[in-house]
Structure 1
Amino acid sequence: MTDSPKPDSEGQLAGAIEGILRSYREHGNINHLDGTNLPSRAEIGQLLDDLLSLVFPGYLGAEEVDELSSRYFVGERCSVLLRDLERVIARVLQTPSGSECASATRLGAEEAAARGREHAFEMLGHIPELRRLLALDVRAALDGDPAACSSSEVISSYPGVTAIAVHRIAHHLECREVPLIPRMMSELVHGRTGIDIHPGARIGSSFFIDHGTGVVIGETTAIGDHVKLYQGVTLGALSVDAAERDRGRQRHPTLEDHVTVYAGATILGGDTVIGRGSVIGGNVWLTHGVPPMTTVMLDKPSLRFVTGG
């Protein structure tokens, strides 16, 4: 009995390598081979964790922070963040990563490094304002959820607070036209919480998302102060055709101050304005605005509007 011939391992490996290289040439839109590595999800995740540890000291890390040690903690964390932020931002500024969606310009290494450092200092300088806004968001959660017992519980366990904290960081970078990183941040927290907020969305103070899973807030959404959303709410565009993309036009709805939107409601369109103090009931589908102080409920087979609260 003779042994069967062994497969040509080297030949098979060479064939696999050639096939992969051929696919790089054929499907170049999913390659990034220009010599400057884009940031990994792990890097952006670590940046977020470090930023959030400054925003919520004593909550999200293993370090024990008290008044005596806080100066050393903040100094060490800011030093690390300054280095990591400027390096990661400089790398994305050296690539045409945003050119398909925006007028992103690829910078040279020296200019990218200078801009990265500038953005990093701006981000660190913005943390006091972030903390002011997030203190109001935590207060809104305590006021808006009878089951909430303490700020510690809300910060440590509520996905809506995590999502809005990351959004406020990502939105700051988005407004300064930092490419790619804000969207990576928003998608990382989307994976963690089930809440999808585009970094371009404008969100006012004292914002609360209760439960949260399945909430979608589109790029050009405008949300006022003291707004409350429940799980499964969609604030979206009427059309998802990429050919209709217009970066100067609002495609998503506006929610004015003190609006509440209950679970499963869908509100679509850039011309759709939900007036101040209105309540949108669960599973309602809206593609037009409603006046202030209006309650909209799903009353089969049609909607029922109740004005005056």
Structure 2
Amino acid sequence: MHAAFIQSLALAHRQATAPLPAEAFCALADQLLQVLFPERTARPLNSTDALEAVLYHWQTELAELLRAVLSPQEADQIAATCMAGLPQLRDKLLHDAAAIVAADPAAQGTVEVISTYPGFYAIALHRFAHGLYQLRVPRVPRLLSEYAHARTGIDIHPGARIGPSFCIDHGTGIVIGETAVIGAYVKIFQGVTLGALSVAKHMANLKRHPTIEDHTVIYAGATILGGSTVVGSHSIIGGNVWLTESVPSHSRVYHRAQIHVTRSEDPTADITFSI
């Protein structure tokens, strides 16, 4: 084998950044959800002492793992900040669960949503990852978002700003970009993309993804693109819509496909569909 190639590989290995303890971070995120929501665990903790001990251990382990990307002092400080924010995180997620129950006729209650719905799980991991993102923790927020993506098919960049009472219905194939802003009481169905019109690298520090204002519903397969695109509050974006410009509040935006169904007079003939 060529010596220069081996030397280049050796240099790459010497310069490589240490890998994140990915499994440990993901397990810690799942443990957090189990503590915050006993519906997600087979072993609920029924005493304050047990809960305090588990949360103390969680904070200690988070600080230890964060030392892979931060100084010990920074890791300890951020772990303490995360611990202090847990009441607010749980409250936000309870409102998300309630929004899903209110919007989904199939939902049998918050216990079912919290314990089984992929949309809730994706939102929960996003809110945790977004908190780390805001604290400028490198790499870890994206690790958690990709973990949620792999488990649910829902791809939410940790930088996306999502307001309270967010509802994801079904969820598979949803993509929400880094600079997207979503208001309160927004509902999004499967296959929705909140993306950028351009992916040029020089736009890295610009707003590239749309803003979705309060009480908006976006149906399956809709694509909304651009950092200056604003969907006004109380709007409905229909399925398969392609939108690259702003619409005012209370808008109804639909993709109109013409579908014709014809049947031959011969009862044995096939039905013909044309779109």
The DSSP-based 3-state class of the residue aligned with 2:79 is helix
- TM-score with structure 2 setting the length: 0.88
Please report how far the alpha carbon of residue 32 of structure 1 lies from its aligned counterpart in structure 2 after TM superposition. Answer: 6.9
1:82 and 2:40 equivalent? no
Identify which of 79, 94, 103 aligns with 1:144.
103
Distance in 2 (CA, whole Å) between partners of 1:32 and 1:289 is: 49
Distance in 2 (CA, whole Å) between partners of 1:38 and 1:75 is: 31
Distance in 1 (CA, whole Å) between partners of 2:118 and 2:50 is: 26
Aligned twin of 1:45: 26
Aligned residues: 258
Please report how far the alpha carbon of residue 124 of structure 1 lies from its aligned counterpart in structure 2 after TM superposition. Answer: 0.8
Distance in 1 (CA, whole Å) between partners of 2:18 and 2:51 is: 29
Aligned twin of 1:24: 9
Please report how far the alpha carbon of residue 241 of structure 1 lies from its aligned counterpart in structure 2 after TM superposition. Answer: 2.5
Q: In percent, how many aligned pairs have the same letter?
A: 45
Please report how far the alpha carbon of residue 273 of structure 1 lies from its aligned counterpart in structure 2 after TM superposition. Answer: 0.1
1:181 and 2:181 equivalent? no
Aligned twin of 1:223: 182
Distance in 2 (CA, whole Å) between partners of 1:135 and 1:22 is: 54
Matches within 5 A, 1:198-213: 198-213=157-172
- TM-score with structure 1 setting the length: 0.79
Please report how far the alpha carbon of residue 20 of structure 1 lies from its aligned counterpart in structure 2 after TM superposition. Answer: 8.7
Where structure 1 has 5 or more consecutive residues not aligned to the other structure, the ranges are 1-14, 94-111, 302-309
User: Aligned AA for 2:36?
Assistant: V
Aligned twin of 1:121: 80
Distance in 2 (CA, whole Å) between partners of 1:54 and 1:275 is: 37
Aligned twin of 1:11: none
Matches within 5 A, 1:1-309: 21-22=6-7, 24-25=9-10, 28=12, 31=13, 33=15, 37-56=18-37, 58-66=38-46, 69=47, 71-93=48-70, 112-242=71-201, 244-247=202-205, 249-300=206-257
Question: Is this contact kept in 1: 2:216–2:235, CA < 8 A?
Answer: yes
Distance in 1 (CA, whole Å) between partners of 2:117 and 2:93 is: 13
Aligned twin of 1:4: none
Change (3 A) 1:288 1:116: same
Distance in 2 (CA, whole Å) between partners of 1:252 and 1:295 is: 20
The DSSP-based 3-state class of the residue aligned with 1:235 is strand
Please report how far the alpha carbon of residue 54 of structure 1 lies from its aligned counterpart in structure 2 after TM superposition. Answer: 2.3
Please report how far the alpha carbon of residue 199 of structure 1 lies from its aligned counterpart in structure 2 after TM superposition. Answer: 0.4
User: Aligned AA for 1:289?
Assistant: S
Q: Deviations over 1:22-60 (max 9, x none)?
A: 45247x3xx5756x733222111111112112221x222
User: Aligned AA for 2:58?
Assistant: L
The DSSP-based 3-state class of the residue aligned with 1:200 is coil
| CA RMSD, Structure 1 to Structure 2 (Å) | 2.0
